[in-house]
Amino acid sequence: MDFKTTKHDLEEAFTLIVNQIEEGSLPDVATANRFSRLAGMMHQLSDETWMEEAEDFSHLAGQFLNAVKKHDLESCVMLVESLQDAQSFCHRTFRE
Ligand code: HEM
């Protein structure tokens, strides 16, 4: 999968997740799985200037998936905030 498609799919999955969190509901496992897989793909497609951040992000996405599987809504909320912070940091720092 190319970078653009990966990013588009990542955005689609993350929007669903953020909406579910904002409604106060536990995100569904299928979407969390997809999101985690896409975060891993983004890491594979990253270039060396932001590869470490992409690895951290993929790790966080894996923790988020685990929290969903454990029905741990409180951890899900905190992890989604961390994912949003990581996204803003990266886009601010590495996007031209
Ligand atoms: C949920 C999290 C994220 C979403 C939904 C997201 C979404 C996007 C989208 C839609 C683009 C534009 C792609 C295009 O059409 O060209 C983009 C670009 C980019 N993102 Fe993200 N992103 C996320 C997280 C991250 C993270 C964590 C990093 C860094 C580790 C990152 C680094 C970048 C960079 C460097 C670009 C610009 C690439 C270029 O044009 O050369 N993103 N992102």
Domain ranges (residues) in the chain: 3-94
This prediction's pTM: 0.96
Model confidence at 8, pLDDT cuts 50, 70, 90, reads very high
pLDDT at 1: 81
For 15, 48, 95, the CA distances from 33, given in Å and listed in that order, are 14, 26, 26
What pLDDT, in 10s, does the model give residues 82-96?
999 999 999 999 997
> Whose CA is closest to 60, among 48, 43, 47?
43
Average pLDDT over residues 6-27: 98
The CA 4 to ligand 1 mean position distance, Å, reads 9
Q: Which residue's CA is the closest to the ligand 1 atom numbered 1?
A: 14
The CA 7 to ligand 1 mean position distance, Å, reads 6
What pLDDT, in 10s, does the model give residues 23-70?
999 999 999 999 999 999 999 999 999 999 999 999 999 999 999 999
